[in-house]
Structure 1
Amino acid sequence: MTDHLSWYDEIREAERVHWDGETRSWYITRFDDVWELLVDDRLGARSAQAHIERMTPAQRELCAPVMDSVSKWPVFTDVPRHTTLHRLILPCFAPAETQRVTGVARSSLKSAEPADWCSDDIVEAVIQPACVAALAAFLGISPADVTRVTEWSARLIAFAGQTAYDHEVVTEATVALREFGDFVMRTCAAGNSVLSSSMRRSLREGVLDRSEVVAVYGQLVTGFLQPTISSLAMAIEVLADDTAVKAAFEDAPDTFIAESIRLASPFHFAPRRTLRDMSFAGRLIPAGQRVVLLLVAANRDPRRFPDPLRFRMDRGTPPHVAFARGRYACLGAGLTRHLMRAVLTALVEQPAGLVPPAAVEWHVGRGMRMPLRLTRSKA
């Protein structure tokens, strides 16, 4: 199965809850159901992983360090530990820090040359460098180090996304975790951002240990760069191909950004597990089962969003679930929206005709949407 989005749409229209034997998961796809279950206390954050049960003892031993690290990412942590992590991380997204990080992105955009704006791939030439600069400022690292950080993160994500034991993936993730952990400790010691200073203080006071700090950085790297770039790529594809949309963005930027994020839905699902036997839509889901809340299918639900695959400014800003909600809502959602506004404002301020029409070539996997490249098209 390669067309994941079509399959997600099919099961949404067929039934409210779908059992998939291959992934041993219950899929919830309709908007109203996903909206409610995102805050349902019958579901825990860390999902069950059936493939672990099929591992040999030796394989489980090899996986243990990375499994332990990923399980400590805030998004996979249950209360009360999640409450502690949330309290420590939330100030890192305060308005002053958001403005500082967004200002770094604006400086990068201002330094872009006209040739960059009309390059064959505006995402690679302009958008990604601005987002990389913002991420570096937020983490308290050099922009030159972002490539290594994102490579380490990608290997950890590949491990977390396994549905069967893969020795190469496990080996690469183990090395990445060790190198990433050492890098994070050096970054916290330097204290060059609100985040790194907060983590250094938490280590010193014994509120968090090394593995928990590394887990915080791992999640923030994963949740910051790629989703922002994906949402921007979606917005740019719409903006660059329709001159009428430029005025629509200038009149209602929040609506434009919300609709771009809804259509992009960079992360496709929120994995959960049942904490106790749970009755839902006439089905009994036993305790300990994996439940997948399909954010992307919910954001394409025609019951909530008529004509869901079209970009429509007349929707206003109805809630979507691209950033989830409740205690596990994306803490960086506000920062993402600020960065998108800065980038898109810079785009529409370019001289007429400088940015030609464009189309994004996407990689759409089981769990994520990522732009591969931007190609030019005729007006």
Structure 2
Amino acid sequence: MELRYSPFDFTVHEDPYPFYARLREEAPVYHNEKDGFWALSRHADVLAAFRDDRRFSSRNGIRIEEPFWGPQAEQFFSFVAMDPPKHTRMRGLVNKAFTPRRIAALEPRLLEIARAHLEPLLEGEEFDLIDFAAKYPTDVISELVGVPESDREQVREISFAVMHAPEEGDGQMHEGSTDAMGALIGYYAQLTAERARRPQDDLLSGLLQVSENEDRLTPEEVIGVLVLLIGAGSETTMLLLGNAWHAAWKHPAERERAFAGRIEDWIEETLRYDPVSQSSPRTTTEDVELHGVTIPAGEKVLLLSGAANRDPRAFPDPDRFDLDRDTGGHLAFGNGRHHCLGAPLARLEARLALTELAATVADYEIDEAAAKRVHTSINRGFVSLPTRVTARR
């Protein structure tokens, strides 16, 4: 059978891993001429490309759908769609406000948010995990940023429309997604102007105040960071929680160990076994030769971290879900200069949420026939995960 891989193919979304296995063995440098991209699938190659930002540029962004891909990507993805020296400046300034201390200080409040969203769902025997997983991380970002509680439902609705408006299956985003993006930018512009007049103890005020010598982030740059946080922060944590819940259900022995206290191992093995971010796009700045194939300069290249995380060269018996595995080499958060800045926050959110679930739920069943997957070119996970639970007595 002819090898055909496309990140827009809904069949791939259902189970990409057989496709990845063939790519790694038959075409480690794969070219899809119709969709206009190349793909790297072996762990060593993906890792090397993540670290080689000189030849593999991020300037065109992290989503290959229109209108997000291209020179305008900065307005959607801030410093993630930049190369040095612009990336170095922006990430350095953001780092000064987005500190480990600020994240750690949020833990008690994040636990309150998780419990507030979980408790009404767990009063019955059935709920959709994504009803929790979609609201919780969006409210966490709002708490971090300083969005007033009275506005948080509005921000959740707009954010969900940005992230999950239907796609056409051919690389085109639905009109509703771009409209919602405009509404989100408008809301954050108003909030940024308000914080510039009256600073508070929140990330938004911190971003407006940080400086390097005389250099500061402009209000437009701050708004870009906030939009990035919603997309890269809220969506990925939502999908991570769903993937962890689904993986543990499919592997009862590992679920029992996870519920017995192996929460962090559960998270890390999920990040390796079924990562949210399946690929990261780059643009070649010069001809790149690999495995006897030349990728020309100026080409779109997908770094398939989902394939790399199942590469048997890096992870023995990679299709097995195993909490005892050494997951230190997984690429779920990327690597190199663009390693995910929000990884500590995502891990904290997941740990708090899954710990609460494990403390309340003795066992559960997922209605897989009714579950619905997200359909994007880069992310993998669920937008609906109906669950029947057995409560702890």
Please tell me the TM-score bracket, short chain as reference: 0.7 to 0.9
Q: Aligned pair 1:26/2:31, yes or no?
A: no
Q: Aligned pair 1:371/2:382, yes or no?
A: yes
Letter in 2 for 1:28: L
Matches for 1:60-139 after TM superposition, within 5 Å:
67=73, 69-70=75-76, 73-111=78-116, 112-113=118-119, 116=122, 118-124=124-130, 126-139=132-145
Return the offset for 1:238.
4.2
Q: Is the 8 A contact 2:164 2:374 kept in 1?
A: no
Q: Any idea what SS the aligned residue of 1:267 has?
A: coil
Report what 1:42 is aligned to.
55
Q: Map Cα deviations across residues 105-148 of structure 1 (whole Å, 9 max, x no partner).
A: 21133444375264522524544443333221111113553454
Matches for 1:226-265 after TM superposition, within 5 Å:
226-239=235-248, 242=252, 245-248=255-258, 250-265=260-275
CA distance in 1 between partners of 2:162 and 2:120 (Å): 37
* Change in CA separation of 1:295 and 1:314 when aligned onto 2, cut-off 3 Å: same
| Equivalent in 151, 157, 164 of residue 145 of structure 1 | 151
Q: Is the 8 A contact 2:208 2:218 kept in 1?
A: no
Structure 1, unmatched stretches of 5+, are none
Q: Map Cα deviations across residues 248-286 of structure 1 (whole Å, 9 max, x no partner).
A: 454543322100122331122111111222222212222
Q: How many percent of aligned residue pairs carry the same amino acid?
A: 26
Matches for 1:261-340 after TM superposition, within 5 Å:
261-340=271-350
Q: Is the 8 A contact 2:243 2:274 kept in 1?
A: yes
Q: Any idea what SS the aligned residue of 2:216 has?
A: coil
* Change in CA separation of 1:268 and 1:117 when aligned onto 2, cut-off 3 Å: farther
Report what 2:179 is aligned to.
172
Q: Aligned pair 1:182/2:192, yes or no?
A: no
Q: Is the 8 A contact 1:105 1:131 kept in 2?
A: no
Return the offset for 1:185.
2.2
Report what 2:4 is aligned to.
none
CA distance in 1 between partners of 2:73 and 2:272 (Å): 31
Greater alpha carbon shift after TM alignment, 237-246 vs 265-274? 237-246
Q: Any idea what SS the aligned residue of 2:140 has?
A: helix
Structure 2, unmatched stretches of 5+, are 1-8
Q: How many residues align?
A: 366
TM-score normalized by structure 2?
Answer: 0.79
Return the offset for 1:64.
9.9
Return the offset for 1:177.
6.2
Return the offset for 1:247.
3.4
Letter in 2 for 1:23: D
Letter in 1 for 2:383: L
CA distance in 2 between partners of 1:167 and 1:230 (Å): 20
Letter in 2 for 1:182: A
Specify which structure has the higher proportion of helix. 1
Q: Is the 8 A contact 1:362 1:369 kept in 2?
A: no
TM-score normalized by structure 1?
Answer: 0.81
CA distance in 1 between partners of 2:104 and 2:366 (Å): 29
Q: Is the 8 A contact 1:278 1:287 kept in 2?
A: yes
* Change in CA separation of 1:202 and 1:303 when aligned onto 2, cut-off 3 Å: same
| Equivalent in 189, 193, 201 of residue 209 of structure 2 | 201
Q: Is the 8 A contact 1:48 1:290 kept in 2?
A: no
Return the offset for 1:328.
0.2
Indicate the RMSD between aligned Cα atoms, in angstroms. 3.7
Q: Is the 8 A contact 1:120 1:375 kept in 2?
A: yes
Letter in 2 for 1:27: A
CA distance in 2 between partners of 1:256 and 1:222 (Å): 24
Q: Map Cα deviations across residues 324-368 of structure 1 (whole Å, 9 max, x no partner).
A: 0111011111111111111121122226x4x53335624143221
Greater alpha carbon shift after TM alignment, 255-264 vs 7-16? 7-16
Matches for 1:342-353 after TM superposition, within 5 Å:
342-350=352-360, 353=362
Q: Any idea what SS the aligned residue of 1:356 has?
A: strand
* Change in CA separation of 1:95 and 1:22 when aligned onto 2, cut-off 3 Å: same
Return the offset for 1:164.
6.3
